[in-house]
Copies of this chain bind each other. A is one copy, B any other.
Amino acid sequence: MAQTRILPAADNAHQYPLLIKQLLLSGPRYNPNQEIVYSNRSKYTYTDLVDRIHRLANALTDAGVKAGDTVAVMDWDTPRYLECFFAIPMIGAILHTVNVRLSPEQIVYTMNHAEDDVVLVHDDFLPIIEGVKDEIKTVKTWIQLTDNDTAKATSVDTIGDYEALLANANNQFDFPDFDENSIATTFYTTGTTGNPKGVYFSHRQLVLHTLVMTGTVASFDEMPLLRSSSVYMPLTPMFHVHAWGVPYAATMMGIKQVYPGRYEPEMLVDLLKEHKVTFSHCVPTIMQMMMATESIKTADLNNWHVLIGGSALTKGLCDAGARLGIKMYTAYGMSETCPLLSASHLKPEDMELPLEQQTAIRVKTGIAAPLVELEIIDPDGNPVPHDGEAKGEVVARAPWLTQSYFKEPQKGEELWQGGWLHTGDVASMEPNNTLTIKDRIKDVIKTGGEWLSSLDLENLISQHPAVAGAAVVGVPDEKWGERPYALVTLKPGEDVSLKDIQQHLSKFVESGDINKWAIPEQIDFVEDIPKTSVGKINKKLIRDQLKD
Which residue numbers of A lie inside 8 Å of B, CB to CB? Answer: 1-8, 10-16, 18, 22-23, 25-26, 29-32, 66-68, 91-92, 94, 176-179, 181-183, 200, 202, 207-208, 211-212, 214-215, 218-222, 224, 226-229, 252-253, 345, 347-348, 367-373, 397-399, 401, 403-404, 409, 412, 416, 419, 421, 432-433
User: In the complex, what residues of B have CB within 8 A of residue A221's CB?
Assistant: 224, 227-229
Chain B residue at smallest Cβ distance from A31: B347
Q: Nearest Cβ distance between residue A394 and chain B, in whole angstroms?
A: 15
User: In the complex, what residues of B have CB within 8 A of residue A372's CB?
Assistant: 25-26
Report which of B176, B218, B348 forms a contact with A2, defined as CB distance below 8 A: B176
B16 touches A399 (CB 8 A): yes
Provided the pairs A14-B401, A403-B8 are in contact, do residues A370 and B25 lie with their beta carbons within 8 angstroms?
yes
Chain B residue at smallest Cβ distance from A94: B5
Q: Bound complex: CA of A25 vs CA of B221, how far in Å? A: 20
User: In the complex, what residues of B have CB within 8 A of residue A412's CB?
Assistant: 11
Q: Bound complex: CA of A510 vs CA of B401, how far in Å? A: 61
Tell me the dominant secondary structure on chain A's binding face. loop
Chain B residue at smallest Cβ distance from A181: B7
B397 touches A16 (CB 8 A): yes
Provided the pairs A7-B403, A371-B22, A398-B16 are in contact, do residues A2 and B67 lie with their beta carbons within 8 angstroms?
yes
A403 touches B183 (CB 8 A): no
User: In the complex, what residues of B have CB within 8 A of residue A397's CB?
Assistant: 16
User: In the complex, what residues of B have CB within 8 A of residue A1's CB?
Assistant: 176-179
User: In the complex, what residues of B have CB within 8 A of residue A31's CB?
Assistant: 347
Q: Bound complex: CA of A373 vs CA of B26, how far in Å? A: 9
Report which of B5, B10, B202, B211 forms a contact with A182, defined as CB distance below 8 A: B5
What is the total number of copies of this protein in its complex? Answer: 2
User: In the complex, what residues of B have CB within 8 A of residue A215's CB?
Assistant: 211, 214-215, 218-219, 252-253
User: In the complex, what residues of B have CB within 8 A of residue A5's CB?
Assistant: 68, 94, 182-183
Report which of B16, B29, B94, B369 forms a contact with A433, defined as CB distance below 8 A: B29
Q: Could you name 15 residue pairs across A and B whose Cβ atoms are closer than 8 Å?
A: A2-B91, A5-B68, A6-B181, A12-B403, A15-B403, A16-B399, A29-B433, A211-B370, A211-B371, A215-B219, A219-B219, A219-B227, A221-B224, A221-B227, A229-B348
B2 touches A178 (CB 8 A): yes
Provided the pairs A14-B416, A348-B229, A368-B29 are in contact, do residues A6 and B220 lie with their beta carbons within 8 angstroms?
no
Report which of B4, B13, B222 forms a contact with A92, defined as CB distance below 8 A: B4
B6 touches A67 (CB 8 A): no
